[in-house]
Amino acid sequence: MIRSAPVKLSARAAAIQESATLRVTRRAAELKARGVKVMDFGAGEPDFPSPPVAVEAARQALAEGFTRYTPGSGTPELRSAIAESSAARWGSPWQGKDCVVTVGGKAALFELTLALLEPGDEVVLPSPCWVTFPEQIRFAGATPVTVPTSVEDGFRIHAGPLLEAVTTRTRAILLNAPCNPTGGVISPEDLRRVVAFAAERGLMVISDETYERFVYDAPPASAAALAAEFPDAVALVGSFSKTYAMTGWRIGYLLGPAPVVHAVESIQSHATSNPTSFAMVGALAALRHAEPEVEVMIAEYRARREIIAEGLNRIPGFRCIPPHGAFYAFPEVRGCFGPGRRSSIEIAEYLLEEAAVAVVPGAAFGADDHIRLSFACSRATLAEGLERIAAALAR
């Protein structure tokens, strides 16, 4: 073997970290492959099957040879159906041409940051926040400016502190409500304040509404409801992964103003080309026919939310407020810090090694006093996982 000089990576690649959520998933999968019975609260991945109607539509599409390239921005049918669904629910003005179907919501966000951000720009976003947001923003050369939300306040997202963080360098405000990892929501009034402010300043509100259907005790809010009034200020990202339990299908989308949509289309035409053809057929069937399944899932998450919050609050040193939305519990665990468990990372490591329980350390989301547990897992996993956590931490 002839070795050359060490491989030199770009500064961009050298700076980026593996996604902490996907790392936990990988490590849990490694343990499972070794025969360990892992209680997996790691990735936010619904335990429900994808809707049969979506599976059947995709199967049929495959059988009929729908296996070639489609237009790069997605099939016209799915783009129109997404826009129509948004118009019906929120009165948004978007049409099929204002929609790009992407390889999961993550790709829509990635392409958006590349389309909008310059080195030196800032993006204001509430914190704790999903691991991927700061990495994507930095990858585009810009700077994430985080604005804290607080556990005492149920991690609600308020307009005031966000707008105070806006400077002349701000290019966008990035919202994710309900929030991964906190479940924090934003009120329709606060959302309106943020979007109106952005419109006045020529900023973009990127609204990642992946968890939009999962709200438990607050009125739902969507930036789609403001897009007719402030058409240049709203870029909305959505996903089929969580709503329809279709994570592996990798279908997400962007809805937004024409220049942004065109830029994202061009980027996507060089990055991925179209999302998988037959997966889009399945997604269209889910959008049209799987509402009953969605309602069953929402009801079940609502019940699990109570179970997990109660269970976590019984563990000495844990404090958990029932999340207002999404399907993550985000307990404060500082009360459990001690020798060998001095941080959320060490607690997560300890739980994985000693109890075969997978959780994501809060540090990954900018909150080292917390850990994140997805309750998109079965009630049996909830029960046994909670027992194992309590027992392991009592040792």
Tell the smallest beta-carbon distance from residue 119 to ligand GLU (Å): 25
DSSP secondary structure letter of residue 17:
P
Scored b (16 or more CB within 10 A) or e, 351-361 reads: bbeebbbbbbb
- Under the binding rule (CB under 6 A), the answer on residue 44 touching ligand GLU is yes
CA dist 277 and 42 (Å) reads: 29
- Under the binding rule (CB under 6 A), the answer on residue 127 touching ligand GLU is no
- Under the binding rule (CB under 6 A), the answer on residue 180 touching ligand GLU is yes
Tell the smallest beta-carbon distance from residue 145 to ligand GLU (Å): 21
Tell the smallest beta-carbon distance from residue 115 to ligand GLU (Å): 20
Tell the smallest beta-carbon distance from residue 241 to ligand GLU (Å): 7
- Under the binding rule (CB under 6 A), the answer on residue 21 touching ligand GLU is yes
Tell the smallest beta-carbon distance from residue 91 to ligand GLU (Å): 28
Number of chain residues interacting with ligand GLU (CB under 6 A): 9
CA dist 256 and 258 (Å) reads: 7
Please report, as residue ranges, which positions from 68 to 107 form the binding site for ligand GLU (by CB under 6 A).
106
Edge to edge, the sheet with strand 204-208 lists 99-102, 252-255, 234-239, 204-208, 170-175, 122-127, 143-148
- Under the binding rule (CB under 6 A), the answer on residue 238 touching ligand GLU is no
In terms of phi and psi (left: phi > 0; alpha: psi -120 to 50; beta: otherwise), the region of 352 is alpha
CA dist 229 and 218 (Å) reads: 23
- Under the binding rule (CB under 6 A), the answer on residue 182 touching ligand GLU is no
- Under the binding rule (CB under 6 A), the answer on residue 43 touching ligand GLU is yes
Stretch that binds ligand GLU, among 14-22, 47-55, 133-141, 169-177 (CB under 6 A): 14-22
| Contact status, residue 137 vs residue 117, Cβ threshold 8 Å | yes
- Under the binding rule (CB under 6 A), the answer on residue 136 touching ligand GLU is no
| Contact status, residue 233 vs residue 217, Cβ threshold 8 Å | no
N-to-C CA span, the chain: 50
Cβ closer to ligand GLU: 38 or 159?
38
- Under the binding rule (CB under 6 A), the answer on residue 362 touching ligand GLU is no
Tell the smallest beta-carbon distance from residue 21 to ligand GLU (Å): 3
Residues with Cβ within 8 Å of residue 268, at least 6 apart in sequence: 72, 73, 100, 102, 107, 111
- Under the binding rule (CB under 6 A), the answer on residue 19 touching ligand GLU is yes
Q: Which residues of the chain form contacts with ligand GLU (CB under 6 A)?
A: 19, 21-22, 43-44, 106, 130, 132, 180
